[in-house]
Amino acid sequence: NSTNATSWSSSWGGSITQANGITTLTAPTVSSPQTFTLTLTCINSVGTSIQGQAQVTVNPIQQPPTCSLTANPSSINSGQSSTLVWSSNNVTTVTSSWAGNVAVSGSQSVSTTSTTTYTITCTGPGGTTSSSATVTVNVVQVPVCTLSASQTTINQGQSVSLTWNSTNNPTSWNASWGS
């Protein structure tokens, strides 16, 4: 507070303003982390001066963490595997939904029988973020084949008509005739 001051000077390149008896010091923009001392000299109308000091520490800007998680392939059949690949920057810890704490970058093979979303959470001095990847498990249906005969009893030398139907996309058919 410099109520009776008529002039001010400072030891740094900021600005000094006064309004309603309150003096405001605006520090200059500092481009690198450091600790410095601000000194303000207030002089009244008869030349009496007094100094005030304040120490200010400028911390480094904390970059926010970034992370990425992908699954390759992202679509599998039950029993198959997918590879999760992750990377991160500006982190101190990376936690995965499948294995707990993991390295800041890496890969892991996973196998699942149902569609699963995997997540990594990345934490650093600048905060926390996360990334997810989903492995979709395709439902493979077993082919169904039905076979019917037009007659179940015939005499020797007669013929019978066979009819078949298949569903769920069989890829091949094999018929055998036995007694």
**Residue range 105-111: average pLDDT?**
96
Structure tokens at 58: 């400028």
CA dist., res. 118 & res. 135, Å (int): 8
For residue 132, the model assigns a pLDDT of: 98
List of residues 6+ apart from 70 with CB closer than 8 A: 84, 85, 86, 133
For residue 61, the model assigns a pLDDT of: 82
143-173, pLDDT tens digit by residue?
888 888 888 888 888 888 888 888 888 888 7
Give the pLDDT band (50/70/90) at residue 40.
confident
Whether the model clears a pTM of 0.75, i.e. scores above it, the answer is no
Q: Is 148:163 a contact under the CB 8 Å cutoff?
A: yes
